[in-house]
Structure 1
């Protein structure tokens, strides 16, 4: 598996989302509604900002 370097802003947001997701799944924690909506916004932003486009694929070839 290759290591991907993320913008530190996105790396921190993704780490926070995954930590809370682990708590929800493993410890049956229930996050506040505002955390849920905040994380959804961060997750969508992360995907939009880090998705591969066709021009990215062309430059890697």
Structure 2
């Protein structure tokens, strides 16, 4: 038999990672981080509705 194999070799199956158990402090930190991300998304959405900052944007003079 030849040692050459055609195509890609299949990756080895890795054992499934066990679920991490969190204590109260870790759970509070995770929840706080999720809340902050949610607030940032809401602020970004509000900022996009208002348009450019400053209102007028770039001003061009009529002189040449």
TM-score normalised according to structure 2 size: 0.39
Larger radius of gyration: 2
Name which structure has the greater RCO, CA cutoff 8 Å, separation 6+: 1
